[in-house]
Amino acid sequence: MAVEVLIPNAGQTSGEATILRWLKKPGDAVKVGEALLEIETDKAAMEVEAAAAGVLQSVRYEAGAVVPVLTTVAVIATAGESAALPTHVEAREALPRSTPAGPNGGAKTDSRDLLTIMRAHRPNRTLASPLARTLAANAGLELAAVIGSGPRGRIMKRDVQAVSMRPPLPTAEPGSRWSPFSVTRRTIAERMAASWREAPQVTLTTEADAEALAHLRAQFQNDLPDAGDLSYTDLFVKITAAALREQPYLNARVEDEGIRLFDAIHIGLAVDTERGLIVPVIRDADRKGVAQIVRERRDLAERARGGKLRPDELSGGTFTLTNLGAFEIDAFTPIINPPEGAVLGVGRVVKKPVVRDDELRPGMTVALSLTFDHRLVDGGPAARFLQRIKTLVEKPHLLIA
Amino acid sequence: MYRDMIRIRKFEEKVYLLFLEGKVLGTIHQYQGQEAVAVGVCSALRRNDCITSTHRPHGHCIAKGVPLDSMMAELFAKSTGCCKAKGGSMHMGDISVGAVPAIAIVAGGVTLAAGMGLAYKLQRSDRVVACFFGDGAVNEGAFHEGANLAAIKKLPVVFICENNFYAASTPMQLTTPVGIAERAAAYGIPGVVVDGNDVAAVYQATVTAVARARRGEGPTLIECQTYRTVGHSRGDAGTYRPKEEVELWKQRDPIERLRRSLIADGAAENEIAAIEAEADREIETAVAFAESSLPPQPEDALLHVYGEGVTP
Amino acid sequence: MKRLSIAEALREAMREEMLRDERVFLIGEDIGIPQGFGGAFTVTLGLSDEFGHERVVDTPISEKAIVGAAVGAAMMGMRPIADVQYSDFLFCAADEIINQAAKMTYMSGGTVKVPMVLRAPVGATNRGAQHAQSPEGFFMHVPGWKVAVPATAYDAKGLLKTAVRDEGPVLIFEHKRLYGKGGRKEAGGLDLTSGIPDEDYCIPFGQAVVRREGADLTIVATLLMMHRSLAAADLLAQEGINIEVIDPRTLVPFDNETMLASVAKTGKLLIVEEDNLTGGWGAEVAARVADSGFDLLDAPIKRLASYDVPMPFAPVLENFVVPSVDRIIELARAMVKGKV
């Protein structure tokens, strides 16, 4: 039995993934659940795990290959299969045995084993038909730029034609360097452009008194076990979720001439990683206590940076929270994470002179920026929502009212 | 012997009708008129003696004891046929009764028969092989080589030439300068001519030849002069033969002759009728069997190509 | 362990099988005549002294009868080893080979077996067109026959034994220039003897041997051409070109797996055969690799074969027609360097 190792369909918008690196090589024994390779989709980098125990064989694509989703990239030979092909110099058999040819006299060789042998000796070989090679050469195309749609990923004439119909690569310009989009970058580019195009976005800003919030944070850090790194973001998840529970019209999105309101509140946290922006989701944030939110946030952020998130952890958000306070940013104009309806941007909690009881004194403030889809709600309701956030920030004890 | 001749005649007549109905496919080379040769020869053989046959094998096979239902099923192209529907009319046979599946290449069986005789000799058995072939075959190289080898090695073969005077449409006078039985002299073996429509004469000649072979004295060539009262194959109207000639031979019908002779010797008409009725029933049963049998699976075409396995 | 030539190894195989199984007998021309040749190439020498003329059957010059009798005897349970003196004469018995031996098992629905062996020497030896053919391609084409092409004494003995024990008809093609002990210029001056173990051994059909390993080019070759390919490979190794030489040992069944695995490694296939190019066994093998090995190929599959001419007599002409070591080197080098 051979079990195929597929690039999973993880809800990527682009139907492709890049193989970052193989964690196992052909011939390695693998266990169920063991990570075989790392891939990068537009959502995140993630690992593909073995669905069966056996021996990894027939690795078909090298690191760097961009393959369509559900492509078979390798095979796991489960018990009973032998991967090795004999090479004998002088064969000797004790028992006489005659092996009549099948009527077609044809090869019974598993073509996937042959590709494994080929790659062991000619690792850089791309599978492409002679015609495709000629066409690519004539068009000045590198085969590496072409994804093959033929058997076993073979590049065929139609694949070369598809690429040559794309606009040409930019020419070299002195004093500059051009590099193509990575999968993540391209996806972000496409999504941001779509968001900008489709949703008329308005940003409202306000400044909240952050003294109570700062105090709350210190208390939690002290009194909750293992919350030494409890951050403002954790508190804002709780605050935002509570506000959404009270004013659910922003826990929604525009969809097909209508508005879809969601029952559950799943808050996406914008995380900055080397690869780009990634948004893991904390589900049912309104039903979780701060302690749990801290744990989840910590785990998600770490795995986001390590590229180890699962597809279900990257999807399903109903509202996004983005905090640029660490970079000394105050108010800004975040772009909505499509297809959601709104996004809250949080700035730095900063010491500032404030007016309280008509007196000028040192205080702490935080800038809050709400961008909303004006198709979904108007300025008034949006402003009310932001005002409520401000209220909860300044009077966090209301969270347990 | 009457019984077997009647069975052959009725089988062939039935097959002819079925062929016209499209139930028997391909082509058939029929034996009507020559029954005395097959029956006369096979009656002189033991069950474990073998025969080789030709493209016109139905009569030989029936006389040797191949079951009618497996023959009919083979003609109907069913998997229950004697060759599992892989052979057809021209390769009929059943080795378990000593009928080697027929060789349709003219004279192709002659060298095979020599080899079979060689095997019996090496095995120190006293089996013999009767090798049927027609007048056309004696001009094939294989006839010469097989007869020569059998003669020089004194192999236990009886060569039976069914001379019906025509090789397909070509009459003997155009092809054969020397009489068939006379050619035996070239090999130093006895050559006899018998009236191929006299079953007793054929039988006697075969008995003599078989005894000679069993004694290790070598082969004999028996030329049985006979006539097929039907065309070479179905679809042959036989227009190359003069009508008078056909009529003349019909007068000498071997079954009629034996019937008259049996009656003259005291056989009762109703006994003969009973034999004929039984033959009719046997053939109807064979047809029913063939019709109700299943055809082979298409993939069976891939079986039996190579000798399978190795016997250490 | 002793060293035997192919002729000696074949003789020993026959002798051992005849001792082991009383059904085995030999049939052919000039094979048992007292004080005779032992067949055209001495292979059966001495066997009639040991087994008598009943089991070593001398025949008239009657190829049809030789082959036909072998078929008939095999059908009756014997295990004949028939031979013709030159493979060209197989065509005299073409009907017996193609229409009887090959088809009997099939036409009888599997009820009649034909466990015979037919041996025939191939190869050009300055005797002119009718004593020179390498007709393996004709018979590879016939469903029902297995075809062996032993190029070494070790293989000759093991394959003949398997052939005798096989339940169906087997053709063994031996090369005239490879029978002797070797040292002959035509065979490249190679030692043609092999070490033959004392114990009984059979070589299964359908198992090729990698005679030489290399990663630059795969050569598949049989009989004399296999030896010439090895000689070419040795010379090319001095140029840093490493050729993998595969000896299929049997054409039917053919060891596709070993060949494809080699092509997977090298990406290039050269078939070297002595039969003429059009419709030779190489054409069949090339078609298979073009099909099953399409993605492995870096270059077109090439066949080096005799030209499509009847074999001429004069040595200068024959040497031109049959692939030489030099021609193998030239084409192999061009393939490795990507020039074809």
d(CA C211, CA C154): 13
Residues A138 and A70 in one domain: no
- At A10 the pLDDT is 61
State the average pLDDT for chain B. 93
Helix (H, G, I), strand (E, B) or coil at B204: helix
Mean residue pLDDT of chain C comes to: 94
**Residue B204 confidence (pLDDT):** 97
- Decide if pLDDT at B282 tops 60: yes
Query: Are A205 and A63 contained in the same domain?
Result: no
Contact call for C55 and B122, based on CB within 8 A: yes
- What is the percent of chain A with per-residue pLDDT over 70, rounded to a whole number? 88
Does A99 touch chain B if contact means CB atoms closer than 8 Å? Answer: no
Output the pLDDT for position A98.
28
Which element (helix H / strand E) includes A198? helix A183-198
Check CB contact of A98 with chain B, cutoff 8 Å: yes
Q: What is the mean pLDDT of residues C320-337?
A: 96
Structure tokens at A345: 């941007």
Cβ contact B310–A103 (<8 Å): no
Q: Among this protein's residues, is C131 annotated catalytic?
A: yes
pLDDT of residue B44: 97
User: What is the model's pLDDT at position B136?
Assistant: 93
Note the pLDDT tens digit of each residue in C85-102.
999 999 999 999 999 999
Does the annotation mark A330 as catalytic?
Answer: no
Give residue ranges of C with CB < 8 Å to any A CB: 143, 146, 154, 158, 161-162, 165-168, 197, 201-207, 209-211, 213, 215, 252-254, 256-258, 260-261, 264-267, 284, 288, 291-296, 298
A97 CB neighbours in chain B (<8 A) are 310
Q: How far apart are CA B150 and CA C62, in angstroms?
A: 12
Around C210, how many Cα atoms within 13 Å sit in the side-chain half-sphere? Answer: 22
How far is Cα C42 from Cα C67, in angstroms, rounded to an integer?
20
A101 pLDDT band, cuts 50/70/90, is very low
A204 in the same domain as A152: no
Q: What are phi and psi of B223, to 5 degrees?
A: -95, 115
Is residue C55 predicted with pLDDT exceeding 50? yes
**Residue A305: pLDDT above 80?**
yes
Q: What is the mean pLDDT of residues B80-109?
A: 94
Mean of pLDDT values over B51-73: 96
Predicted confidence band at A169 (pLDDT cuts at 50, 70, 90)? Answer: low
Question: Read out DSSP for C277-306?
Answer: STT-HHHHHHHHHHHHTGGG-SS--EEEEE
Catalytic residue among C53, C131, C141, C175: C131
**A96: pLDDT strictly greater than 50:** no
Q: How far apart are CA B41 and CA B199, in angstroms?
A: 8
Interchain pair B307, C78: CB under 8 A: no
**Mean pLDDT of the region A114-132:** 88
Predicted confidence (pLDDT) at residue C204 exceeds the cutoff of 90? yes
Residue that is written with structure tokens 């056309």 in the block: B136
> Is pLDDT at C205 greater than 80 in this prediction?
yes
Look at residue C186 in the predicted model and tell me its pLDDT: 56
A102, pLDDT greater than 50: no
Q: What local confidence, expressed as pLDDT, does residue A61 receive?
A: 80
Residues of A in contact with B310 (CB under 8 A): 96-98
Determine if the peptide bond prior to A339 is cis (ω within 30°).
Answer: yes
DSSP B166-199: EETTEEGGGT-SS-TGGGHHHHTS-EEEEETT-H
Q: Give the chain A residue whose CA is nearest to the CA of B305.
A: A103
Apex C133 CA angle, C129 and C134, nearest 5: 160
CB atoms within 10 A of CB A129: 18
> What is the tens place of the pLDDT at every residue in B223-281?
999 998 888 887 787 888 888 898 889 899 999 999 999 999 988 889 999 999 999 99
* Domain co-membership, A132 together with A49: no
Identify which of C194, C136, C204, C196 has the alpha carbon closest to the alpha carbon of residue C165: C204
The pLDDT assigned to B274 comes to 94
- Amino acid letter, residue C319: N
- Evaluate whether residue A212 is within a structural domain: yes
pLDDT number for residue A89: 22
In chain C the domains, ranked by start, together with CATH numbers, are 2-196 (3.40.50.970), 209-336 (3.40.50.920)
**Residue with structure tokens 């975040």?**
A334
How many domains would you assign to chain A?
3
A–B interface: beta-carbon pairs under 8 A: 14
Query: Whole-angstrom Cα distance, residue A199 to residue A351?
Result: 35
CATH for A152: 4.10.320.10
State which H helix or E strand residue A206 sits in. Answer: strand A201-209
C-beta of residue B72 within 8 angstroms of C-beta of residue B153: no
Helices (H), chain B: 2-21, 35-43, 58-64, 68-75, 108-122, 141-153, 184-187, 199-214, 243-251, 254-264, 269-292
Q: B93-97, C36-40, C137-141: lowest mean pLDDT where?
A: C36-40
The residue of A88, A99, A134 whose CB has the most chain C CBs within 10 angstroms, and thus the best one to mutate to test that interface, is: A99
Please indicate, yes or no, if residue A336 is contained in any of the structural domains: yes
Does residue A95 register a pLDDT over 80?
no
3-state secondary structure of C331: helix
Look at residue C340 in the predicted model and tell me its pLDDT: 84
Say what the pLDDT of residue A16 is. 75
Statement: residue A125 has pLDDT above 50: yes
Residue B108 scores a pLDDT above 90: yes
Longest alpha-carbon distance in chain A: 107
Give the pLDDT score at B312: 35
A101 falls within a domain: no
Q: Over 60: is that where the pLDDT of A93 sits?
A: no
In 3D, which of C63, C42, C335 has the Cα closest to residue C216? Answer: C335
Whole-angstrom Cα distance, residue B31 to residue B8? 8
Residue A303 domain flag: yes
Q: How many CB pairs under 8 A join B and C?
A: 163
Report the pLDDT value the prediction gives residue B100, as an integer from 0 to 100. 96
Contact C105 B305 (CB under 8 A): yes
Whether chain C has a CB inside 8 Å of the CB on A155: the answer is no
| pLDDT value for B309 | 52
Looking at the predicted structure, is the pLDDT value of residue A69 above 80? no
Q: What pLDDT does residue B118 have?
A: 97
Q: For residue C238, give every residue at least 6 positions away whose Cβ sits within 8 Å of its Cβ, in sequence order, or none.
A: none
pLDDT number for residue A105: 40
Q: Which of B306, B308, B310 sits opposite A96 (nearest CB)?
A: B310
Out of B187-196, C30-39, C285-294, least confident range: C30-39
Q: Check residue C272 and give its pLDDT.
A: 98
Of all residues in chain A, the one with the smallest CA distance to C163 is: A98
Cα torsion angle, B102, B108, B110, B115, sign = negative
Q: Would an 8 Å CB–CB cutoff place A110 in contact with chain C? A: no
Distance of residue B146 Cα from the nearest chain C Cα, in angstroms = 5
Task: Place A75 in a pLDDT band, splitting at 50, 70 and 90.
Answer: confident
Q: What would the mean pLDDT of A376-392 be, rounded to a whole number?
A: 96
* pLDDT of A103 higher than 50: no
For residue B120, the model assigns a pLDDT of 97
pLDDT-derived band of residue A84, with 50, 70 and 90 as boundaries? very low
In a domain, residue A374? The reply is yes
Q: What ipTM was assigned to the predicted interfaces of this complex?
A: 0.88
Q: Is the Cβ pair C144, B141 closer than 8 Å?
A: no
For residue A129, which residues of chain C lie inside 8 Å, CB to CB?
Answer: 294
- Nearest to residue C149, comparing CAs of C70, C232, C225? C225
A56 lies in some domain: yes
Contact assignment for B115 to C95 by CB distance below 8 Å:
no
pTM: 0.69
pLDDT band at A86 (very low <50, low <70, confident <90, very high): very low
Residue A90: pLDDT over 50 = no
Residue of B nearest to A97 (CA): B310
Q: Is the pLDDT of residue C188 over 70?
A: no
Beta strands across the sheet bearing A342-356 = A201-209, A359-373, A342-356, A319-323, A267-269, A281-282
Task: Give the tokens for residue C197.
Answer: 């173990």
CB contacts, 8 Å: B146 with chain C: 64-65, 68-69
pLDDT of B183 strictly over 90? yes
In eight-state DSSP terms, residue C98 is: I
- The residue among B86, B299, B303, B305 with the most chain A CBs within 10 A of its CB, best to mutate, is B305
The terminus-to-terminus CA distance of chain B in angstroms comes to 44
Q: How many of the other CB atoms lie within 10 Å of CB of C300?
A: 12
CB pair distance less than 8 Å for C107 and B91: yes
Range of A338's domain?
Answer: 200-400
Contacts of C78 (CB under 8 A, 6+ apart): B118, B119, B122, B123, C23, C24, C25
Output the pLDDT for position A21: 86
CATH 3.40.50.970 fits B2-292, yes or no: yes
* Largest interatomic CA distance in chain B: 62
Which residue in A86, A98, A129 is closest to C204 by CB distance? A98
For residue A88, is it within any domain? no
Lowest mean per-residue pLDDT among B106-115, B152-161, C123-132, C251-260: C123-132
Select from A118, A140, A166 the last residue of a domain: A166
Does A271 share its domain with A379?
yes
Instruction: Please identify, among A52, A80, A108, the residue that sits at the C-terminal boundary of a domain.
Output: A80
User: Would you place residue C214 in the very low, low, confident or very high pLDDT band (cuts 50, 70, 90)?
Assistant: very high
Residues of A in contact with C261 (CB under 8 A): 85, 87, 109, 113-114, 117
CA A205 to chain centre: 29
Q: Count contacts between A and C (CB, < 8 Å).
A: 113
B28: helix, strand or coil? coil
Alpha-carbon span B60 to B37, nearest angstrom: 9
Q: Measured between CA atoms, how close is C228 to chain B, in angstroms?
A: 33
Residue C38 region, left (φ>0) first, then alpha (ψ -120 to 50), else beta?
left
> Which CATH number goes with the domain that contains A51?
2.40.50.100
pLDDT value at residue A100:
34
Strand residue runs (E) in C168-254: 170-175, 194-196, 209-212, 217-221, 243-247, 250-252
Whether residue C105 and residue B304 make contact (CB cut-off 8 A), yes or no, is yes
Neighbour count for residue A83 (Cβ, 10 Å)? 18
User: Quick one: angle between helices B35-43 and B2-21, nearest 10?
Assistant: 130
**Per residue in B192-221, pLDDT tens?**
999 999 999 999 999 999 999 999 999 999
Do the domain assignments include residue A115?
A: no
